[in-house]
Amino acid sequence: MGRYIIRRLLQAIPLLLIISTILFLLMNAMGDPLASFGGRRRIRSSDRERLTRQLGLDKPIAVQYAVWLIGNDWMDIDLDGDGVPDAKGTRRGILRGDWGKSFMEKRPVGEIIAERLPNTLILMLTTEVVILVFSLFIGIYSAIRQYSLFDHIVTGLSFIGYSMPIFWLALLMMFIFAVYFKKWGLPYFPTVGMYDLSVGKTIPQVVWHMALPVATMSIMSIAGYSRFIRANMLEVIHQDYIRTARSKGLSERVILLGHALKNASLPLVTIVGMDLPILLGGAVVTESIFAWPGMGRLFWDAAKDTDIPVLMGVLTLISIAVVVFQLITDVTYTFLDPRIRYD
């Protein structure tokens, strides 16, 4: 197992380099990073030239990537354009822990991400727990009550929930549980932010404010996950070893949870392992609609302003998380199925 983990980590190094190169090229092709500097007014040509030199945007794309990756302490910088180097580079590069500085906020990218990441984890981890709990219950119960009234109702609701666009569902939740609940005199849910400024960032406030975002993101995923679990459970509970377990007199709970679910969960582990890294990137649409100050909203704001350092920071974090969580998923297989070995 140890050799397998080390081999996978070594294989991840060139993979991440290739991914970062492609992402850097795509981010630089998005638009002009200086277009948003002047706000509603266009910046002067002299200011544009000065900013281009200061931000290193006058260098070839290969040099810009090298600066982002390994730093610029190997390169002389000419800030005033007189042909005489003014200073050595001061950036160490992402390989040495320097994620760069935001074009728009003039702050280190690592500091900005550190502020937003906890907010996203609070929202997304809560959503993932809700999704797994409801999906397992609905999927297992639908499988053991196949073609019952409950199964037919859940099947219909699953197709409806899965087909709803996330932005439309978010607006519908706001319209019903905020606008109309307030109109009817019922306790209504807030629609923006993490907490009321007059109250402060308390646990009840955060829970109350994330009720609608969590419900919005959970509905679609529960619809898909529950159908997937139902299909896997139906395939497993008709296997010979399940009939053998019943013939031994084991309780139905032990059979379902100890035998059937353990084997049916292998494909589910793969899906969850692919979804978990995306949690770090947040939910762009949901966080923007509900004004949740997380990574998804940060990415959207940076994309609008073509803030390349922030975009690269978020995407690099997600890429690393994908590699790590895929490794964790492979290791988890060995605990669920003893037949799987990587030695």
Query: In what helix (H) or strand (E) does residue 279 lie, and over which residues does it extend?
Result: helix 261-281
Same domain (yes/no): 229, 87: no
CA gap 135, 228 in Å, rounded: 9
Give whole-number Cα distances, 134 to 60, 97, 159, 233, in Å: 52, 40, 16, 15
Here the tokens at position 268 are 């589910």
Same domain (yes/no): 122, 85: no
CA gap 72, 340 in Å, rounded: 46
The whole-chain average pLDDT of the chain stands at 83
Domain range for 88 is 43-102
Q: How confident is the model at residue 306 (pLDDT cuts 50, 70, 90)?
A: confident
CA gap 343, 336 in Å, rounded: 16
pLDDT, tens digit (0-9, with 9 covering 90-100), for 20-79: 999 999 888 887 777 766 555 677 777 777 777 777 787 888 888 888 888 777 666 655
Angle at which helices 109-144 and 261-281 cross, to 10°? 150
Say yes or no to pLDDT of 335 above 60.
Answer: yes
Same domain (yes/no): 80, 133: no
102, 131, 151: which is the final residue of a domain? 102
Question: Which distant-in-sequence residues (6+ apart) come within 8 Å of 19 by Cβ?
Answer: 319
Beta carbons within 10 angstroms of residue 111's beta carbon: 12
Predicted pLDDT at 83: 56
Same domain (yes/no): 287, 144: yes
Same domain (yes/no): 200, 317: yes
Percent of the residues in the chain that have a pLDDT greater than 70, as a whole number: 90
CA gap 228, 265 in Å, rounded: 10
102, 130, 153: which is the final residue of a domain? 102
Q: How confident is the model at residue 133 (pLDDT cuts 50, 70, 90)?
A: very high
Beta carbons within 10 angstroms of residue 286's beta carbon: 24
Is 35 a domain residue?
Answer: no
Same domain (yes/no): 51, 141: no
Burial 234-251, CB ≥16 within 10 A → b, else e: bebbeeeebeebeeeeee
pLDDT, tens digit (0-9, with 9 covering 90-100), for 205-250: 999 999 999 999 899 889 888 888 898 888 888 888 888 888 888 8
205: domain CATH number?
Answer: 1.10.3720.10
CA gap 122, 295 in Å, rounded: 11
Is 25 a domain residue?
Answer: no
Predicted pLDDT at 84: 52
Same domain (yes/no): 137, 67: no
pLDDT, tens digit (0-9, with 9 covering 90-100), for 146-197: 889 999 999 899 888 888 888 899 999 999 999 999 999 888 899 888 888 8
CA atoms within 13 A on the CB side of 193: 10
Average pLDDT of span 83-91: 59
Indicate the number of domains in the chain.
2
Same domain (yes/no): 252, 134: yes
Average pLDDT of span 110-120: 91
